[in-house]
């Protein structure tokens, strides 16, 4: 066949047929865009720290960082000893240890929730009113003076009848206090616990709508996390997957699904000694959450461990190894966020996160570089894989595990280019990557 030969191209379907198919699928196209907008592209914190409302203070973030550093100094004072406890490879020991210490000095907490629920419990109304107003004042002051965590907010009481009015009042006092102090901070996060029915989520939506109207906020400004702590939040009485309906009931306001390790386990009758994030019941719940949230822009968070790194060094090391292992397990399963319940959990939270990204970033960056340059390699990557690779690198950059210079040097890509790969247009994922 000559180089100049042109193939004859013939079709049998008329343009009208193609147009009719497009018209018939237009409602589906619109629903896909509405229900599955994709990841919002903002930073996701690697953890959430819960502090009871009566214990929250202006210096809480710094106190947690200082106590975490003190735990390191006492129980693993150098890179070699810390690596030995966690089983880190020699080449990771120094970089991980140095980054953990730097993180604890610079930004020890990424996400803080002032807790008015289980960690706070029932209090006289006047006491909780004052605590909610105080939380608003301290959060506003922290953002104003630059001492805030990147994300901060409250966990209110749930929508169940016995505590519903109290939870709504606390939410109102807190948000009103922020507005009176100058407006809502960009990192504001609200958490609705113990959600069982979609109607409870709808009720939260209506509350936030009314608050926006009464204060002149832009419609849709307020979003919230949904905590999955009951069996009914996973599987409804009629056999449907409730968690997907919870996301839809939020009408675009859901920002996250947070797994509640101990409430959920207890709901299923798991004995206290076996309530943990790696129990089969937990894995099942989180798998359902993951599928329901995929593509919706709603992010996932694992729960916590209640084994605290306190006491003699041997006990601290055991607790560290447990927390490190659970965190690495969650990361491998695409749960990039979790809860931390004690300052001494912070060293192993960041060690696990930093090791996860540092041990794989060179390979990920090289694969993405080959994909971007259409260069041959021993792995055939496609757009969906490029999306995952770039998302991995961006998460590593956001938390401080990776430096922009080393990622750009290895991948040859700027952050803007990484973001383009991480959030492709919908149709791009169906195209061939080579």
User: Which pTM value belongs to this model?
Assistant: 0.92
Strand partners, 257: 226, 300
State mean pLDDT over 252-264: 96
Which pLDDT tens digit goes with each residue over 193-205? 999 999 999 999 9
Distance CA 416, CA 400 (A): 17
What is the per-residue pLDDT for 430? 42
379 pLDDT tier (thresholds 50, 70, 90): low
pLDDT greater than 60 at residue 308: yes
For the CA atoms of 109, 423, 372, 409, the dihedral, rounded to the nearest 10 degrees, stands at -20
State mean pLDDT over 210-229: 97
Distance CA 116, CA 173 (A): 12
Distance of alpha carbon 312 from the chain centroid: 32
What is the per-residue pLDDT for 46? 98
State mean pLDDT over 29-33: 94
State mean pLDDT over 103-119: 97
Nearest to 417 by CA among 396, 400, 433, 393: 393
Q: What is the residue-averaged pLDDT of the chain?
A: 93
pLDDT exceeding 70 applies to what percent of the chain?
A: 95
pLDDT greater than 60 at residue 185: yes
What is the per-residue pLDDT for 371? 86
378 pLDDT tier (thresholds 50, 70, 90): low
Domains recognised in the chain with CATH numbers? 47-358 (3.20.20.60), 361-430 (no CATH)
What is the per-residue pLDDT for 204? 98
2 pLDDT tier (thresholds 50, 70, 90): low
């Amino acid at each position: 066949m000559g180089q100049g030969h042109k193939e004859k191209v013939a079709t049998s379907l008329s343009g009208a047929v193609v147009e009719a198919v497009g018209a018939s699928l237009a409602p589906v196209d619109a629903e896909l865009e509405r229900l599955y907008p994709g990841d919002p592209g903002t930073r996701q914190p690697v953890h959430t720290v819960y502090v009871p409302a009566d214990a929250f203070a202006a210096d809480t973030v710094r106190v947690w960082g200082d106590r975490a550093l003190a735990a390191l100094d006492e129980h693993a004072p150098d890179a070699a000893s810390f690596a030995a406890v966690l089983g880190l490879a020699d080449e990771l020991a120094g970089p991980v240890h140095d980054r953990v210490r730097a993180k604890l000095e610079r930004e020890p907490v990424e996400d803080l929730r002032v807790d008015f629920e289980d960690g706070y419990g029932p209090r006289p109304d006047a006491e909780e009113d004052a605590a909610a107003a105080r939380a608003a004042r301290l959060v506003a002051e922290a953002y104003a003076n630059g001492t805030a965590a990147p994300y901060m907010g409250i966990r209110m009481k749930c929508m169940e009848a016995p505590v519903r009015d109290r939870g709504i009042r606390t939410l109102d006092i807190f948000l009103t206090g922020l507005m009176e102090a100058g407006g809502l901070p960009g990192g504001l996060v609200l958490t609705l616990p113990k959600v069982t029915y979609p109607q409870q989520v709808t009720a939260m939506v209506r509350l936030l709508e009314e608050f926006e109207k009464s204060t002149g906020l832009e419609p849709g400004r307020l979003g919230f996390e949904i905590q999955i702590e009951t069996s009914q939040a996973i599987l409804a009485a009629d056999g449907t997957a409730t968690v997907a309906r919870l996301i839809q009931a939020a009408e675009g306001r859901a920002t996250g699904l947070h797994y509640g390790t101990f409430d959920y386990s207890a709901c299923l009758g798991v004995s206290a000694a076996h309530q943990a994030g790696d129990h089969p019941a937990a894995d099942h719940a989180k798998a359902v959450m993951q599928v329901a949230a995929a593509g919706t822009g709603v992010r996932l968070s694992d729960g916590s461990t209640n084994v605290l790194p306190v006491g003699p060094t041997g006990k601290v090391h055991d607790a560290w190894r447990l927390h490190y292992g659970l965190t690495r397990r969650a990361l491998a399963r695409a749960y990039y966020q979790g809860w931390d319940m004690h300052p001494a959990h912070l060293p192993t939270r960041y060690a696990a996160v930093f090791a996860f990204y540092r041990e794989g970033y060179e390979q990920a960056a090289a694969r993405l570089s080959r994909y971007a340059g259409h260069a041959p390699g021993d792995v055939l990557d496609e757009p969906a894989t490029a999306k995952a690779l770039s998302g991995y690198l961006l998460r590593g950059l956001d938390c401080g595990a990776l430096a922009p210079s080393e990622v750009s040097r290895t991948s040859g890509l700027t952050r803007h280019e990484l973001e383009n790969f991480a959030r492709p247009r919908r149709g791009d994922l169906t195209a061939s990557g080579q």
